[in-house]
């Protein structure tokens, strides 16, 4: 999500991951779990933070479609992280979203131009998120990770050189884990 400025109304603790993971991060830890896709207004906030507000409308149909895409990406992320490849069920779920759009290539003034077309407007944001997920898979499925902190449910794309990043944010989740380990050592 480079060059996109988060909507100031966006309450999420982690913003700015690639589009697919940013969509997964519309759910974050809390009791009950926080969900930015709880309603149409909140969906509009996510669209704004994702830089899609000018291309996608926040309505009930779009909300239902983006929730479906989020669950499909979540399941596929689990497969990628656990197995390094996607199950048939995960592939079918991704393909079901991708069936709602395509890339149209045309000749433009500077050469080839690609334009995403969706069969219905509510499927544009979900299609873009799933397409982004496939791009991330191509860069290394095992780099799509869920934060290692037991209380965190956020996802990130590990861009570290050795691929061993464990925390969504070292300053928060990593420090909490270190503090807990220190406390246990001091007690014991």
**Percentage above 90 pLDDT, the chain:** 76
> What integer pLDDT is reported at residue 1 of this predicted model?
44
> What integer pLDDT is reported at residue 4 of this predicted model?
75
Statement: residue 182 has pLDDT above 50: no
Query: Stretch 105-121: mean pLDDT, rounded?
Result: 96
Confidence of residue 186 (pLDDT cuts 50, 70, 90): low
Query: Stretch 108-137: mean pLDDT, rounded?
Result: 97
Statement: residue 59 has pLDDT above 80: yes
Can you tell me the distance from the alpha carbon of 105 to that of 38, in angstroms, rounded to the nearest whole number? 35
> Which CATH code for domain 19-142?
1.10.3300.10
Contact status, residue 49 vs residue 15, Cβ threshold 8 Å = yes
Q: What CA dihedral angle connects 36, 37, 42 and 47, to 10 degrees?
A: 100
pTM here? 0.89
């Amino acid at each position: 999500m480079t060059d996109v400025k988060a909507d100031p109304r966006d309450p999420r603790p982690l913003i700015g991951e690639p589009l697919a993971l940013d969509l997964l991060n519309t759910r974050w830890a809390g009791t009950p779990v926080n969900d930015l896709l709880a309603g149409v207004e909140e969906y509009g906030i996510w669209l704004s933070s994702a830089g899609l507000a000018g291309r996608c409308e926040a309505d009930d149909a779009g909300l239902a479609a983006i929730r479906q895409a989020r669950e499909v990406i979540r399941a596929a992320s689990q497969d990628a992280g656990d197995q390094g490849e996607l199950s048939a069920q995960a592939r079918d779920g991704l393909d079901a979203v991708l069936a709602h759009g395509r890339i149209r290539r045309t000749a433009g003034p500077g050469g080839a131009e690609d334009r995403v077309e969706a069969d219905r407007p509510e499927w544009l944001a979900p299609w873009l998120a799933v397409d982004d997920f496939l791009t991330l898979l191509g860069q290394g499925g095992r780099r799509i990770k869920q934060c290692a902190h037991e209380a965190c449910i956020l996802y990130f794309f590990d861009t570290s050189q050795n691929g061993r990043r464990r925390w969504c944010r070292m300053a928060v989740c990593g420090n909490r884990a270190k503090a807990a380990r220190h406390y246990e050592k001091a007690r014991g």
